[in-house]
Amino acid sequence: MKLQRPILVGGLVLSFTLWTLQSLHHSVMQLGEISLLSLSIVGGGLWLLKQNRTKDISEQVNWMHIDRSTAEDAIAKVEVVVNQLAQEVENHNEMLQAISPLREQIAHLTAELDRQQIQLAVTGGKSVGKTTLIKLLSDVETLHATSPHFHETSPLFTKAGEKSDAAILQEAIASDFVLFLTNGDLTDSEFQILQQLKAANQSSMLVFNKQDQYLPEERVSVLNSLKQRTQENVVAIAASPLPIKVRKLQEDGSAQEWLEVPAPDIQQLTQELDEVLAQRGQQLVWATTMRKALLLKTEAKNLLNVTRRERAVPVIEKYQWIAAAAAFANPVPALDLLSTAAINGQMVMDLGGIYQQKLSVEQAQTVAGTMGSLMLKLGLVELSSQAISAVLKSNTVTFVAGGMVQGVSAAYLTRIAGLSLIEYFQQQEIAINSGDGLHLDKLKQTLLSCFQQNQQIGMLQKFAQQGVKHLLPASSVASKATV
């Protein structure tokens, strides 16, 4: 049969790209585990990066202007997931125990919507002036109108500290607003934390403290550099300036010198903070509630996915051996037939059922057909059967009659298709009426990454052995293995 080369090449390139990405995370020692398939592929490409990813709802939210109903909607969505979880884990004691804490947290979130006091986190590296600033701000009269609560986090970047930076970041994200203190140009670690706050949709203000330690012209250049680097407004302060020497010439010509402690300079900060609290205070509280709701939803969805996966894997295994037996008994030489044999519409239905994706029989058939042709077009069918025949040849089962490669390949492809579907369904929003419309691009992406994850030689070998055992009566494997 004729393979469509350009598309096959595309698949190979992607496969290689995925491998490159993955191997970056592997130590050199583990390279041996990376599939020979990937290693044999030459190429590269960046089109993986070009794929537009379907956006999560968190990205569609305008975080600068959140209203109460947006936050309420987010809480309602958590409730949908938790209710679904409660329904599905009825007979699962361990999981059932997770339900009531989740419900308590939902109730807590609802109460949070009306919270009046604004929580401000003051964070930054060691000794940047957090305590000093909080003390000063607590005495500022204008801020009393909104009576915010200031919370000093543990210092960041203190490797030996009792709290990790990640934990401190979580603390900051749990607050409504963050004052991030620095004493000069940003270090890379400081920059990264600021980026992470932004990525978490946490409102913050960068505060340049101890500006008294710089000469006036240096102050300006540090401030400009901070503004440029962050593309945000930056406020310069001196929470506790060092004493300065004052010199006064006496009438008799002698000079008198003494040290004078300048007053703290935080006026610009208090002004801007006043504005933030007065104008955006309520929104900040809603945004915090929203962030917490999204986190809670993820937690609940993960639990739901764990329980569903427990039910889904045996289903895949069942169809995998059905496909293996069929292809073994009736081996077809053509790859396209192999790909059609591998993905059963009924498996799609069954898996869809577990993930509450309402699919009609026709839809399930279409999905199965689409996946089969995708696997073929992407070259996965060819790659798999080549790899499996190589694995089988290098094992004790070289002599096995024709049909074995097809049988094991069909099982393998079924497994990949099933795992991809699970992955794909998991990423779907948990909603009442999901399952209308399949995102082909996303499915394709999932298929490729699942294939990538499951093609390591060690895994493939184990799988092939399992397949052989399934397809041949135990006695014949045992006796021939000793030849």
Chain residues that interact with ligand GTP, rule: CB under 6 A: 126-132, 155, 209-210, 212-213, 238-242
CB of 266 to ligand GTP, least distance (A): 9
Minimum distance of ligand GTP from residue 253's CB (angstroms): 33
Give one DSSP letter per residue of 455-481, joined into a string.
Answer: --HHHHHHHHHHHHHHHS-HHHHHHHH
352 interacts with, out of ligand GTP, Mg ion, none, CB within 5 to 8 A per kind: none
User: What contacts 129, CB < 8 A, 6 or more positions away?
Assistant: 181, 183, 209, 210, 239, 240
Residue nearer to Mg ion on the CB measure, 124 or 467: 124
Angle separating helix axes 335-342 and 404-426, nearest 10 degrees: 50
Cβ count within 10 A of residue 132: 18
The minimum distance between CB 265 and Mg ion, in angstroms, equals: 19
- Which residue from 51, 131, 298, 302 is in contact with Mg ion, where contact means CB under 5 A? 131
Bridge partners, 247 (sequence order): 257
- Separation between Cα atoms, residue 376 and residue 2, nearest integer Å: 11
CB count, 10 Å around CB of 374?
22
Q: How far is the CB of 206 from ligand GTP (least distance, A)?
A: 15
Nearer to ligand GTP by Cβ, of 127 and 360: the residue is 127
Residues 6+ apart with CB under 8 A from 481: 396, 397
Angle formed at CA 77 by CA 72 and CA 81, multiple of 5 degrees = 150
Q: What is the DSSP secondary structure assignment for residue 237, as one 8-state letter?
A: -
Minimum CB distance to ligand GTP, residue 132 (Å):
3
- Residue 420 touches which of ligand GTP, Mg ion, none (CB < 5 to 8 A by kind)? none
**213 vs 346, which CB is nearer to ligand GTP?**
213
CB of 275 to ligand GTP, least distance (A): 22
Query: Under DSSP, is residue 394 helix (H, G, I), strand (E, B) or coil?
Result: coil
Nearer to ligand GTP, 216 or 333 (CB): 216
Return the number of the residue (156 or 421) whose C-beta is nearest ligand GTP.
Answer: 156
| Nearest residue (CB) to Mg ion, 156 versus 354 | 156
Distances (CA, A) of 64 to 60, 178, 286: 12, 15, 11
Beta carbon of residue 149, minimum distance to Mg ion (angstroms, whole number): 16
Choices 126-134, 230-238, 252-260, 432-440 (CB under 5 A): range interacting with Mg ion: 126-134
For residue 132, the minimal CB distance to Mg ion (Å) is 8
Cα angle at 189 between 188 and 194, to 5 degrees?
95
- Binding site partner of 316, from Mg ion, ligand GTP, none, Cβ cut-off 5-8 A by kind: none
Q: How far is the CB of 125 from ligand GTP (least distance, A)?
A: 7
Contact partner, 212, from Mg ion, ligand GTP, none, Cβ < 5-8 Å per class: ligand GTP
Q: Toward ligand GTP, which CB reaches closer, 212 or 336?
A: 212
1 CB neighbour count, 10 Å cutoff: 8
Choose between 72 and 265: whose C-beta lies nearer to ligand GTP.
265
Which pairs with CB-CB distance under 8 Å and at least 24 residues apart come from 360-366? 363/435, 363/438
209 binds, among Mg ion, ligand GTP, none (CB under 5 to 8 A by kind): ligand GTP
Measured distance CA(63)–CA(291) in Å, rounded: 10
Q: Work out how close the CB of 21 gets to Mg ion at its nearest, in angstroms, rounded to a whole number.
A: 41
Per rule CB under 5 A, count of chain residues that contact Mg ion: 2
* Site membership for Mg ion, residue 138 (CB under 5 A): no
Between CA 126 and CA 22, with CA 168 as vertex, the angle to 5 degrees is 110
Q: At 368, list the tokens.
A: 């199965």
The single residue listed with the structure tokens 């499996």 is 388
Q: Which does 240 bind (CB under 5 to 8 A by kind): Mg ion, ligand GTP, none?
A: ligand GTP
Residues 379, 415 contacting (CB under 8 angstroms): no
Q: Which phi and psi angles does 270 have, rounded to 5°? A: -65, -35
Contact indicator for 17, 44 with CB cutoff of 8 Å: yes
Nearer to ligand GTP, 145 or 244 (CB): 244
| Sign of the torsion formed by the C-alpha atoms of 221, 222, 227 and 229 | positive
Local structure of 21: helix, strand or coil: helix
Q: How far is the CB of 127 from ligand GTP (least distance, A)?
A: 4
User: Residue number with the shortest CB distance to Mg ion?
Assistant: 131
Rounded CA gap, 190 and 234, in Å? 14
Closer CB to ligand GTP, 205 or 238, in the complex: 238
Q: Residue 179 or 312: which CB sits closer to Mg ion?
A: 179
Q: Given the rule CB under 5 A, which residues bind Mg ion?
A: 130-131
